[in-house]
Structure 1
Amino acid sequence: MGYLLWIFGFMGAHRFYYGRPVSGTLYFFTLGIFFIGWIIDLFLIPSMDRSAYIKYIPGDKDYNISWILLTFLGIFGIHRLYLGKWLTGLIWLLTGGLLLLGVLYDYWTLNEQIDRVNQRRRFR
């Protein structure tokens, strides 16, 4: 999954996926630090993958599906609908992801959002 998001890494998607929102934002606004950092990340993905595997525990809602939906359909809020957040999903749909600022917010927080949804389902 990291390599698939890396293809769009000049937007920082793979960095956000691996729980690195600061560098992801930097990539988002600089096109992967002018594509140089993006190319270097090709070799860093295995180590980022190992650390994210330890940090984020799987559950009912799949991280990969959520990230694919956010990366490719984020402005439509499909990822929020997948997580059961119907109201904000509809708001994203009607406002283009709150004019892309909401999409950037979701890049920052999606892993934690998935964790919360999975924890709620785990303790039912």
Structure 2
Amino acid sequence: MNKHRKYLSRKIKPRSFTKKAVIGFLTFVIACICTSTVVFAAGGEEVIEPMTKFTDFLFAIFRIIGIAITGYGIFEFATAVRSHDGAQKVTAAASIASGLIIIFIKEILQLIGIDV
């Protein structure tokens, strides 16, 4: 009888934590695969509309920054003409040109062929 008690009182070792984690993860993946459904979009415009609004907002910000840079370049050019400084005139002209490029960046990209 002692012999049988020895086997009955023996504790069964629990599975290791990693083994439980792997089994739990695989159960989750299988549940996700089995319960997934295909959802079709109603229309193309509704899907792209938020991105279009966001790009329009970004280009509006670029336009404002370009106007500020161009205005600063005009002010710098007027100061350079008044002080007869050639290097400052070149810097001001570059500032005006870069500001104009930033103002019309959307139109330039469309002219190149990049759809924005």
TM-score normalised over the length of structure 1: 0.22
